[in-house]
Amino acid sequence: MASEEPEILKELGIKSVEELFSDLPSEIRVEGLDLEKGRPEREVRKEVMNILAKNRTVGEMPCFLGAGVYNHYIPSAVSELLSRSEFYSSYTPYQPEISQGMLQALFEYQSLICELTGMEAANSSMYDAATALAEACLMSVRITRKKKIIIPKSIFWEKRTVLENYAKGPGLQIEEVAYDGSMGTVNLTQLKDAVDGETSAVYVESPNLFGVFENFAEVKESIGDALLIAGVNPLSLALVAPPGDLGADIAVGEGQTLGNPMNFGGPLVGLFACKKDCIRKMPGRVIGATKDAHGRRAYCMALQTREQHIRREKATSNICTNESLGAVAFAIHAAILGRSGLRKLATENISKAKELAGRINSLEGFESPVFKSPHFNEFVVQSQGGYSDIDDYLLKQGIQGGLPLSTHFEDLKNCAVFCTTEMHSKEDHDMLINALEGIS
């Protein structure tokens, strides 16, 4: 391999491996851990644990960040079942006759996604919500043979970046539509004007980045023959009508909400479902139910149009695997809660958000929520002073505040998205309110 390196560097247009990391800011780069050589393992471990102790977790401080990754309670039964070797150490079930357990678990996961989204087919997961969105846009192009994709401005900027990266190769045209300044929802008038004969699909998510619910039915009515890609929070679907019932053609979302801890941002689970007539254009793998040679119920990979299995140029996606373990965790958690449990949990999240938003709004110098549309467990807060200073102050008080918006939305100065879940106690809310009172 060493002899090939100069050729690789030449192909990349760089002179050294170090140049690969040249875009990393100097303040976050390290030359390695400052550890004395030859120290016993137990001493090295102790030193490393001391370094790690600088981190603060959500178990040690209230965290009001959201925007796609959420702190929800995960029942102990999830990790207990997930740790079974049949799930924990399994890989792609190339031999279905010895992989029936994993195949059935993924089949149940797909069934749950279909029931939540109101769609007729689902795959057994993508990497995360961002790649699921990007793959949905590519799928829409395969269906319509058009390359214009319309997205709302009210989308998390990291998700938009992933989509833009995916769009470069096939030459997709990404166009943004503004949001209503008072409601926080997509501007339907601008959306209708933006859709034309070259539009392949329109993506709208509900709840959106601002935490407010969109009206998928009105969006579908405004976009004509263009496909509607619906972004969803699976927990919120326990309370609102599924996108499949409101005209959506494809549904995507983040499955970390159930069964999966935050893990410093990953791994995640990308949800992906669609109408039955689009299934052969869907990326990833689809687990199907069939019968074996003896007439007994069995499971198999019914569709696997991935470049790992067929010719690369014929593949629907270059994603060669999926988040199987995360998908199974999602299915276990959802099954434990059941319909009534999911509804109860979603209701608790809405109630806590409404209560916290009201308490913040009562403080001098704060407005909450900024947008008047109904919201789920996130809402936008605006302060009279600069929010970056408030965020720093909250951190000093042992509180992780909301997600700042002003650097990406010029009209949302001093604004941040706050999120609350069932994991926040009244004491956590009191702690945040008392800290904000000290500012106001």
Residue boundaries of the structural domains of the chain:
76-333, 338-439
Share of the chain above pLDDT 90, in %: 70
Would you say the pTM of this structure is higher than 0.75? yes
Instruction: Supply 428's token pair.
Output: 């956590």
**C-alpha span between 163 and 161 (Å, rounded):** 5
**C-alpha span between 316 and 126 (Å, rounded):** 13
pLDDT value at position 318? 67
Question: What is each CA distance from 409 to 163, 178, 210, 288, in whole angstroms?
Answer: 19, 11, 11, 44
Specify the 3-state DSSP secondary structure of 63: strand
Share of the chain above pLDDT 70, in %: 94
pLDDT value at position 38? 87
- The average pLDDT across 96-114 equals 90
Give the pLDDT band of residue 85 (cuts 50, 70, 90).
confident
Q: Does domain 338-439 have CATH number 2.30.30.60?
A: no
C-beta separation of 228 from 112 below 8 A: no
pLDDT at 86 over 90: no
**C-alpha span between 398 and 163 (Å, rounded):** 35
pLDDT value at position 1? 44
pLDDT value at position 31? 77
| pLDDT, tens digit (0-9, with 9 covering 90-100), for 335-345 | 999 999 999 99
pLDDT at 365 over 80: yes
Tell me the CATH number for domain 76-333: 3.40.640.10
C-beta separation of 380 from 350 below 8 A: no
Q: What is the mean pLDDT of the chain?
A: 91
| Secondary-structure percent of the chain, ordered helix, strand, coil, rounded to 5 | 45, 15, 40
What residues contact residue 56 under an 8 Å CB cut-off, 6+ apart? 398, 400
C-beta separation of 238 from 94 below 8 A: no
- The average pLDDT across 317-334 equals 85
Specify the 3-state DSSP secondary structure of 144: helix
Give the pLDDT band of residue 303 (cuts 50, 70, 90).
confident
pLDDT value at position 308? 55
